[in-house]
Structure 1
Amino acid sequence: MIYLDNSATTKPYKEVLETYLTVSEQYFGNPSSLHTLGLEAEKVLTRSRELIAKLLGVKAKEVIFTSGGTEGNNLAIKGVSLEHQSRGKHIITSVIEHASTYETFAELENKGFDVTYLPVNQTGHVSLDDLKQAIRSDTILVSLIHVNNETGAVQPIQEIGEFLKDYPKVFFHVDHVQGVTKVPVHFKKNNIDLCTISGHKFHGLKGTGALYVREGITLSPMLHGGVQEARLRAGTENVPGIAALAKALRMTIEKAEEGKLNLMQLQQKAIAGLKEINGIVLNSGSGDGHAPHIVNFSIPGAKPEVVIQALSHQQIYVSTKSACSSKLSSPSRILLEMGLGQKRAESAIRISFSYETQDQEVEAFIQVMKKEVPKLLQVMR
């Protein structure tokens, strides 16, 4: 099996699964309970929070546990907008956000908020100048994806954070789901107020994640009914999942220094191989401004679902666009916003690597593509 869909989800580390099982068996008490079992579970929860905070370079009380990226983005965006709407109802995002952000802004627009959607260029990057022109006296939030989940375009978070220092009443939220452990960003130095991560993107478990909320920020909670997670996320904490999240984050960060170099080499190999195949057009780049673990390309004239099934028959697994939208037959919204045209947007394929991906797997993928693409294009003629 050759798995090249790591931006959709990663395979959990064996050690992460073992941590989940151990905590589930030995520390199954409710961390809110006052008896010994509850207190032991609370200790696991506290240690996990402290470890994650240390790894992210923040305070433990600034880490709010969630079920993943979608919930984290919703809590950050709605939480700020609804809590602080008395100061203004203008909020800013971009046209190439993940669906969990894009659709949240659309919902807020329906509730009377004024949303500015920043455009992107053909490489998928927003312009700081466009943000400067968009910001107003009634702006309360800027929310941007760090690494685009389809193309790997890395937004200029550092420059934007520096600019927003002059606007202390504007909150800055970053969707860091695709970037964490692969394209690190310093929350404090970059003036980030809220930041979303999701465990299953770095070999943790689905249904686990965290939202960094800078100390002093108040949010309107999405869930009510308990005092858990600083009253921002009511409900009994998923202690085994949280312990597994901490383990996965620690393990992946430990692999990062050597792993990032390997990712860049894999990306270069994939890009070079794809360029040799007639009929393939690259939609993403490499180097500065691009994450090292994502390659997006199109085969104009071929249906992406046919390509995926052809590869699946050979146990090679890739994807079209975001996993949240991959079952929809519509063209990629991201590629359309980049101005790459309908044909490329409706025939896009994404491959994505992890620190576990091997050189020979990418080589095998390229060899299969060299055989399959001419067949696919011949059938479509």
Structure 2
Amino acid sequence: MAKTRVYLDWNATAPMRPQAKAAMLQAMDLQGNPSSVHAEGRAARKIIEDARANIAKAVGARSADVVFTSGGTEANALALVPGLRRNGDVATRLIVSAIEHSSVRSGGRFPVEDVQTAPVTSSGVVDLERLRALLADGAPALVSVMLANNETGAIQPIAEIAELVHAAHGILHVDAVQGFGKIDIDINALNIDLLSVSAHKIGGSKGTGALILTERLSGYEPLIAAGGQEKGRRGGTENLPGIAAFGAAVAAHLDAGAAAMARMQKLRTKLETGLQAVTPEMTVFSSDVPRLPNTTLFSAPSMKAETAVIAFDLEGMAVSSGSACSSGKVHASPVLTAMGVAPETAQGAVRLSLGWDTTEAEIQYLLEAWRSLSNVLVRSSDVVG
């Protein structure tokens, strides 16, 4: 195969879907403010409400529960607010898992002294017994757990977590930014109270997201109250082009259905099998638990992630050393540290993430390149130990 660019960093951001780009350009030509009552304003409002309906359908929520934001980080900040009520119980403290995105680990609007951390197992999933103990030791809590980890792809046992949280009179927030569009989500079947999603992970534009705030909750306080937009839950004129693109991207995802996810899983299996055939001593993190169908985080003896990412790039492949929000910073991954991974193994972790138009030829191209790259990046197996 001739040298080309292969994009395998979809967990950092997905390329815009053609449908999303077309919807965004069309919305840019509209003149009306969505809050205006004239014809131009109503046309803009219809685009927003159609997008809201698509997002609600994708997660089994009511359209009225979808609040548009500037992205997943803001959606998380909106969710993490003291004083939320569910069935009369008030959440006065926050529990977050040890592998959360930095926007959740920061604690939102909770004082630092009211934030606790729930440990995870060596497989990268929440330790349910440790969470149970935290819930029993104090007042009702708002618990924030991601649907699937952005680095390892490990899918969290949300239904079981919801059962524990609600039995302790708590509230459950789920950051679904990475899982949205890669696995099925039913907010009611999983008994989730708040759900964060983002547009650019599913093929929409950057700078748009949403918080699904279910009717089971009360006591919500917006970050931006002025203006009255989004039913007073998030002030400021809505980002019409971004929301239009978001809605179109979700519609395209719904049209693709389960077949697209199954295809990604098949390609990931080919990828991991091929890598391990060349480097049998490599580690694939969270391989013993359910993972996103598109995500592989691996490490090999003596490999340095920074060097590996550059080497892949020079060979025409975009990969990541982990979370894009932490790229360029030389420190151990908080996710791998929480999993108890040895520093010398964690420092070599490279993430490969696939998307809806990743091809078998691109996977084969990477595997062929790995045969030569591994000779430079990885300590030979006869030296191991």
TM-score normalised by structure 1 residue count: 0.92
Amino acid corresponding to residue 162 of structure 1 in structure 2 = E
Name 1:350's counterpart in structure 2: 351
Distance, in Å, in 2 between the alignment partners of 1:109 and 1:335 is 26
Deviation per CA, 1:212-234: give whole Å up to 9, x if none: 00015232211232101121211
1:362 deviates by 1.1
Contact conserved, 1:181 with 1:256, CA < 8 A, in 2?
A: no
Contact conserved, 2:147 with 2:176, CA < 8 A, in 1?
A: yes
Name 1:69's counterpart in structure 2: 72
Distance, in Å, in 2 between the alignment partners of 1:83 and 1:142 is 11
Deviation per CA, 1:20-74: give whole Å up to 9, x if none: 001111x231111233212221122222212322232111110001111111111
Name 2:215's counterpart in structure 1: 215
Aligned with residue 29 of structure 1, among 26, 32, 47 = 32
TM-score normalised by structure 2 residue count: 0.91
1:164 deviates by 3.2
Amino acid corresponding to residue 36 of structure 1 in structure 2 = A
Name 2:299's counterpart in structure 1: 298
Tell me: CA distance 1:88–1:352, structure 2 relative to 1, closer, same or farther (3 Å).
closer
Deviation per CA, 1:337-373: give whole Å up to 9, x if none: 1111101111210000112111121111111111012
Tell me: CA distance 1:286–1:260, structure 2 relative to 1, closer, same or farther (3 Å).
farther
Name 2:97's counterpart in structure 1: 94
Name 1:108's counterpart in structure 2: 110
The runs of 4+ residues in structure 1 deviating greater than 6 Å are none
1:276 deviates by 2.2
Secondary structure class of the residue paired with 2:44: helix
Name 1:244's counterpart in structure 2: 245
1:100 deviates by 1.2
RMSD, aligned α-carbons: 2.2
1:188 deviates by 0.8
Secondary structure class of the residue paired with 1:365: helix
Amino acid corresponding to residue 18 of structure 2 in structure 1 = K
Amino acid corresponding to residue 17 of structure 1 in structure 2 = K
Distance, in Å, in 1 between the alignment partners of 2:221 and 2:317 is 44
Deviation per CA, 1:158-184: give whole Å up to 9, x if none: 1122333434x4111001111112122
Aligned length: 373
Secondary structure class of the residue paired with 2:212: strand
Distance, in Å, in 1 between the alignment partners of 2:122 and 2:141 is 28
Contact conserved, 1:164 with 1:191, CA < 8 A, in 2?
A: no
Query: What is the 5 A alignment of 1:1-381?
Result: 1-25=5-29, 27-77=30-80, 79=81, 81=82, 87=90, 89-104=92-107, 108-110=110-112, 112-113=113-114, 115-136=115-136, 137-167=138-168, 169-217=169-217, 218-278=219-279, 281-286=282-287, 289-377=290-378
Amino acid corresponding to residue 263 of structure 1 in structure 2 = M
Contact conserved, 2:119 with 2:131, CA < 8 A, in 1?
A: no
Distance, in Å, in 2 between the alignment partners of 1:151 and 1:100 is 18
Secondary structure class of the residue paired with 1:104: coil
When structure 1 is superposed on structure 2, of 283-292 and 265-274 the one drifting more is 283-292
Distance, in Å, in 2 between the alignment partners of 1:299 and 1:143 is 32
Distance, in Å, in 2 between the alignment partners of 1:155 and 1:32 is 39
Distance, in Å, in 1 between the alignment partners of 2:304 and 2:285 is 19
1:258 deviates by 0.8
Q: Which runs of 5+ in 1 are unaligned?
A: none
Secondary structure class of the residue paired with 1:173: strand
Contact conserved, 1:124 with 1:153, CA < 8 A, in 2?
A: yes
Distance, in Å, in 2 between the alignment partners of 1:376 and 1:90 is 45
Contact conserved, 2:54 with 2:250, CA < 8 A, in 1?
A: no
Amino acid corresponding to residue 358 of structure 2 in structure 1 = T
Give the percent of matched residue pairs that are identical in Structure 1 and Structure 2.
Answer: 34
Secondary structure class of the residue paired with 1:135: helix
Secondary structure class of the residue paired with 1:91: strand
1:104 deviates by 2.7
